[in-house]
Amino acid sequence: MPTMPSLSLTSSLSRLTPPSPLSPLNPPAPLIPMPPLSSLSALSLMSPKPAALRACGAALQFFTLGLGGQVRVPARPLLLCSALLAASAQAQVSEAPASVVKLPARSGATAETPVTATDSRPAAFEMNWTPLKMPTGEKTALLGLSYMVAVNEDWGLGPAFYGAAKGNYGGLFTAGFTAQRRFRLSQDWHAAAGLYAGAGGGVSSEQVRAGGGFMLRPEVSLRGEFGNWYAGVGLAQVRFPSGNIKDTTWTLMVGRMDRFLSFSPADAGSFGRAGDRTGMGFDEIALSAGVEKPRSGSITRDGRSVTGRKGKAGADLRQYFGNGGSWWGLEASGAASGGSDGYMEIFANAGQDWGVFSERLRVGGQISTGLGGGGNLDTGNGWLFRAGPTLRWITPWGPTLRLDASYLKAPWGNYDSMQVRASLALPLEKGSRVLNTPPLESGTVREQDWYLSMPKFKEFQFKDGSRESVTGLGIGMARDFSGPWYGAAQAGSAAFGKAGAYSYGMFGLGAKTARLPGGFRVGAEALVGAAGGGGVAVGGGAVTQGELWAQWEGSQPKDRLRVKVGVGQWKALGGAKQSTPVVSLNIGWAFGTLGPAAR
């Protein structure tokens, strides 16, 4: 994976620098980036006044570790304060003309001489299909998605997701990271050797066990290239080391080559300029909450009727095109109430809307397909389809409010429902990026971090009354807002312990110090979200977590490595409202993206 040439201010107007024929991840043409499904952030509803900020700041201090080493995390105030503070942060980064931007900048960067996105790396979005024979002899298959970015000339690394898509195992999910080494064989052929490590599970029994949830998937493959695309066949092994799921089988893959354009982390806070989307390439990130009503005939896996409403919480990422009226995106959500804890769904979305009375108020529709299951709901092989109308209001101050209604069906299972949800979205890119011919844009560089996260929960209480320590494995993301504030998100599953199939997804807001001597930084964050599965007693599925952390960022501001250690408290908001201390180790990679200009 050779490093692409640096982009100057002039060359940044072009979609790509000249490609190298030696790298299968160095494309001859651009691709819309497809990021990990777990890339989420805190979102806002309104622009609060300073008094609200002071109140929420005090509340966040109360959430984090205090005297006695305990974290207290009230449920509803946490979500409200996260929304208020994120709204304030967003209000401070509302778009302003470049002529009035007055920012502290690193050496060589001023409002008149902006920094440019010079780090352009080969990348690839890859999908694979892996048949799998279970210990009972039943057959299923895993559908895998990954997004890999080159770390040097030969190696790529990135987040990945696997879910059951065949047989009767809908709800078996894992998430983690893939490392891949590629070998150039000829101009149009390359070989690859890779290893996926992640955690998850689902649909377990005495005969089929995921154990603690840790999963490994080594693979070797041969691929042929055609334009920006490649396809191939290989040999892979799927293994849950602490369980009894293990099979070696053939696999098929298809991928498309991309590039990953970013700024240096040292540019964070500086006045910057780019001619293309930076970072993961999405224009908007949204937090959603809704309610779902199962229709007649919906049943659980053990045959019981499902009639009660369930609450859902989730997030999605969108990229707009067609001058802002069309979009595609990725979405993840889970049960937060209603007795279906552990239910999870992942969707790919596509939609179109049209202005009504004004371009800011828009009506349209969206269709979605994806995988879902868990919570004992009978989704069959896991495939889900969803469609319905959408309403979108693009507010004058930046955030967007959405209201969607939809019909969802598991065509190879026994579950369908009607659902309504409301979403609050924040822009990640300048608004003009949605145009068919986006201009060269200026704005403020914001740091964004991806993490491989390993939280250790001191003692979970299980539904059978037992208690045990559990260690998870997941993906984390953080993105700077303004000043000390940043949005944070985590998604993962149990990897070690007896809670295989326990999964979680949380989002929230944090605050951090400036870089300290020695390359250190400290901060605090408060998260809220949904979790369940693995026999863990979480009530309806809503959970919160507060954490204090310290991070090492290398000896130089331009260094991208991040090593973070956190201590805090996790709490379930339903059932017995159990709570347990949590310690986490996070290994991350930092980059800069271009956001709206600060005032």
pTM: 0.80
Residues 394-422 have a mean pLDDT of 94
Does the pLDDT value for residue 153 go beyond 60? yes
Does the pLDDT value for residue 55 go beyond 90? no
Residue 112: pLDDT band with limits 50, 70, 90: low
Cα distance between residue 164 and residue 371, in whole Å: 8
- Name every residue whose Cβ is closer than 8 Å to that of residue 50 and which is 6 or more positions away in sequence: none
Other beta carbons within 10 angstroms of residue 219's beta carbon come to 21
449-460 burial, b at 16+ Cβ within 10 Å, e below that, comes to bbbbbbbebeeb
Cα distance between residue 74 and residue 439, in whole Å: 45
Does the pLDDT value for residue 108 go beyond 60? no
Q: How far is CA 355 from CA 197, 282, 326, 389, 390, in A?
A: 45, 22, 12, 14, 12
Bridge partners (DSSP) of residue 451 are: 476, 588
Cα distance between residue 557 and residue 241, in whole Å: 39
pLDDT value at residue 491: 92
- Name every residue whose Cβ is closer than 8 Å to that of residue 588 and which is 6 or more positions away in sequence: 449, 450, 451, 452, 476, 561, 562, 563, 564
Does the pLDDT value for residue 52 go beyond 60? no
Residues 311-337 have a mean pLDDT of 91
Residue 598: pLDDT band with limits 50, 70, 90: confident
CB 79 within 8 A of CB 311: no
Domain pair 11-30+120-261 / 282-427, same fold = yes
Reduce the DSSP state of residue 101 to 3 states and report it.
coil
Residues 302-314 have a mean pLDDT of 90
Copy the structure tokens of residue 109.
């960067």
Reduce the DSSP state of residue 580 to 3 states and report it.
strand
Residue carrying the six token digits 């298809």:
254
Fold of domain 11-30+120-261: Porin (2.40.160)
**Residue 96 or residue 530, greater confidence:** 530
Closest CA to 86 of 58, 48, 51: 48
Write phi, then psi, for 498 (nearest 5 degrees).
-110, 20
Does the pLDDT value for residue 311 go beyond 60? yes
pLDDT value at residue 172: 92
- H helix or E strand, kind and range, residue 80: helix 75-92
**Residue 275 or residue 479, greater confidence:** 479
> Could you write out the three-class secondary structure of 393-411?
EECCCCCEEEEEEEEEEEC
Copy the structure tokens of residue 537.
């007693």
pLDDT value at residue 152: 85
Does the pLDDT value for residue 75 go beyond 80? no
- Name every residue whose Cβ is closer than 8 Å to that of residue 62 and which is 6 or more positions away in sequence: 72, 74
Q: How far is CA 413 from CA 139, 298, 407, 416, 420, in A?
A: 16, 9, 15, 9, 22
Cα distance between residue 306 and residue 318, in whole Å: 32
Q: How far is CA 581 from CA 213, 460, 547, in A?
A: 21, 10, 10
CB 542 within 8 A of CB 574: yes
Residue 109: pLDDT band with limits 50, 70, 90: low
Residues 512-526 have a mean pLDDT of 96
Between 65-79, 195-209, 519-533, the lowest mean confidence (pLDDT) is in: 65-79
Does the pLDDT value for residue 91 go beyond 50? no
Bridge partners (DSSP) of residue 585 are: 454, 565
Cα distance between residue 273 and residue 116, in whole Å: 5
Residue 59: pLDDT band with limits 50, 70, 90: very low
pLDDT value at residue 411: 95
Classify burial at 576, counting beta carbons within 10 Å of its beta carbon; exposed 0-12, middle 13-18, buried 19 or more.
Answer: exposed
Residue 575: pLDDT band with limits 50, 70, 90: confident
Q: What is the mean pLDDT of the chain?
A: 82
CB 327 within 8 A of CB 320: yes
Report the C-alpha dihedral over residues 574, 78, 82, 424, rounded to 10 degrees.
Answer: 40
pLDDT value at residue 14: 33
Residues 493-517 have a mean pLDDT of 93
Residue carrying the six token digits 């600060």:
598
Cα distance between residue 225 and residue 258, in whole Å: 13
pLDDT digits (tens, 9 = 90+) for 442-483: 888 999 999 999 999 999 999 999 999 999 999 999 999 888
Residue 71: pLDDT band with limits 50, 70, 90: very low
pLDDT value at residue 438: 66
**Residue 208 or residue 77, greater confidence:** 208
For every residue of 230-284, DSSP letters joined together read EEEEEEEEEE-TTSS-EEEEEEEEEEEEEEEEEB-GGGTTSEEEESS--TT--SE
Residues 514-519 have a mean pLDDT of 95
Cα distance between residue 367 and residue 254, in whole Å: 23
**Residue 540 or residue 128, greater confidence:** 128
CATH 2.60.40.420 fits 282-427, yes or no: no
Residues 415-428 have a mean pLDDT of 93
CB 163 within 8 A of CB 146: no
Residue carrying the six token digits 């009972």:
136
Closest CA to 562 of 546, 584, 529: 584
Does the pLDDT value for residue 420 go beyond 80? yes
Q: What is the CATH number of domain 46-118+437-599?
A: 2.40.160.20
Q: How many helices (H) and strands (E) does the chain have?
A: 2, 26
> Could you write out the three-class secondary structure of 472-483?
EEEEEEEEECCC
Chain mean position to CA 330:
9
Copy the structure tokens of residue 21.
């024929």
Q: Where are the domains of the chain?
A: 11-30+120-261, 46-118+437-599, 282-427
**Residue 431 or residue 396, greater confidence:** 396
